[in-house]
Structure 1
């Protein structure tokens, strides 16, 4: 990627927009502000390359999708979220270099620029190798086939992130996001399967059941209790074994304990 400095100008000279990250709004897709679309001169690229500022110069390909006249980063965007460990309150600046390329800066919620994330476990990294390039092509094809968003493009078929709310603790039944669940069930048909939730320290068997939406049911209460989950905790799920339905779970604790 040609950086702004190679072209003789700085990032501050480029068209840019800012986004504050919220898992509930921005995890599965990120809206490109309507006012920013003018910088594409009527030709919005189908795939973008996002390069994060840092010593490693790491890049992610994301597929553009149009939903009801709005445009989003969608296919590949959850990979970007996971690999950069985005958290509630982080804010990002996207500077458009041209030729489908964005230069991205990521700041923590207290205003510091987040360092290169070399400590993320290898399991959760999605390198731009041949396998991922092939997956991106498939996502682009699906996005073209369903520009209205009516068909799941495969973006969240292996991972999802949820912020724990008060209602999650009331009936001790956990609703799995539809974008993930729809991959493994057919509407109107009963689905029931044993799953395993795996953390770094232990594992828990849970029942996954549903006919219109998948839910964690029996066993979920024990997972919540044993991990001392609270309102505001963020759970990052990744399906690592589809046949046996094993999901690795990473827990980010709510720092605002006085709100729990």
Structure 2
């Protein structure tokens, strides 16, 4: 016969049904990482997970690493992407709810005390590459209309005898050929397949490492070599380590600092990276074009 055993639980050691803490976002200390209050760390029961998921009100999630530094536990790699995605600003109020395992649900409040509107994001991401399928410029339209007028005038011109043709209908073939909508459609059909690119706005923490957005990696099925070559506009190259963080998420680490310094990057500069892919979608090179803040 099985014996029933009653466990004696210390009331002071019980885990609350709702584990929550709040943080105020301060760019100087919270952009690169966010610390968890020391008083909250006890709820990890001595087993701090190496990775966690931060989930916002729309159930969109970001994978982050947890690091312990001098008895302080930090949201580290992946936190920067969360900050950028939600455009967090000084004074924003964040309320975290811990599920007791590895998930942190977060609510974001603006400085006005109201919940912040969320960014649009889906788990199966839409490619971030923008295809430039633009209509013709005003100059092109002007050229097209000029040609149409010239064709019209030629149709109505007099013949060699000096009299206008008796029955001559204006042909619409030229008008259709140079119609802006049809011309634009014709051009768009000839556009080459876009090359995957992503942009990074330089922050004060960017000199250490930057992350490649998960959306662009997953949506284009891109594979990365562990050591990438970054080539700048002048043709100079640097070997940079691509460190995997989670599925489809990579951080550019060792070697990135040298590229950062050599290109004199500063806060708010915009870097556009272009993937150089082989036939198997394997990337070993990134071409970088930097746009300096004016």
Scaled by the length of structure 1, the TM-score of the pair is: 0.48
Scaled by the length of structure 2, the TM-score of the pair is: 0.43
Looking at CA atoms only, which structure, 1 or 2, has the larger radius of gyration? 2
